[in-house]
């Protein structure tokens, strides 16, 4: 049981994984949508999502060439629901989370196929990209 706890504790210790979970509170998202909001390389987001999936916090489904993630509905880890409940109560007024939600509202207005090809450019000239994210970052 301690291993299950440790897996989830490590997963939610990373701020970017918590940002992903906060985005997913609003419902299922394509990897492209998450990538565009967080403005990281796709491979970085994929690694973060793999950690969340391994911990039992998220589930995925494939639809053609797109992969969608959502908060886990099945209990794969006995601690998942406890951590998810805690996270849903926290950080709702955090400026980073608020900005992520603002960007997500813009992202939701763009078709996934366009978003996956254009990334943040699909949101228009008023949405600034952060540092270039073409290379993958290593995870802790």
> What digits encode the pLDDT tens for the residues 106-123?
999 999 999 999 989 999
CA atoms within 13 A on the CB side of 63: 10
For residue 106, the model assigns a pLDDT of: 95
> Does 140 have pLDDT greater than 90?
no
- Whole-number Å distance between alpha carbons of 12 and 52: 8
> What digits encode the pLDDT tens for the residues 53-74?
999 999 999 999 899 999 998 8
DSSP-based three-state secondary structure for 138: coil
Where do the domains of the chain lie, and which CATH numbers do they carry? Answer: 2-119 (1.10.10.10)
For residue 98, the model assigns a pLDDT of: 97
> Does 36 have pLDDT greater than 60?
yes
For residue 74, the model assigns a pLDDT of: 83
Please identify which residue in the block is written with the tokens 């999502």: 49
For residue 75, the model assigns a pLDDT of: 79
- Cβ(61)–Cβ(68) below 8 Å: yes
- Whole-number Å distance between alpha carbons of 93 and 6: 27
Q: DSSP strand E in 43-140: where? A: 58-63, 66-71
> Does 129 have pLDDT greater than 70?
no
> What digits encode the pLDDT tens for the residues 70-86?
999 887 889 999 999 99
For residue 130, the model assigns a pLDDT of: 56
Quickly count helices (H) and strands (E) in the chain.
Answer: 7, 3
């Amino acid at each position: 049981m301690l291993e299950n706890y440790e897996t989830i504790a490590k997963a939610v210790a990373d701020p970017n994984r918590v940002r992903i979970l906060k985005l997913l509170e609003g419902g299922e998202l394509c990897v492209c949508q998450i990538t565009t909001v967080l403005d990281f390389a796709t491979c970085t987001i994929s690694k973060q999502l793999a950690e969340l999936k391994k911990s039992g916090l998220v589930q995925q489904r494939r639809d053609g060439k797109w992969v969608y993630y959502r908060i886990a509905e099945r209990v794969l880890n006995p601690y998942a629901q406890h951590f998810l409940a805690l996270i849903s109560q926290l950080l709702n007024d955090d400026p980073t989370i608020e900005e992520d939600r603002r960007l997500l509202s813009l992202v939701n207005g763009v078709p996934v196929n366009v978003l996956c090809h254009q990334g943040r450019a699909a949101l228009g000239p008023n949405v600034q990209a952060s540092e270039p994210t073409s290379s993958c970052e290593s995870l802790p």
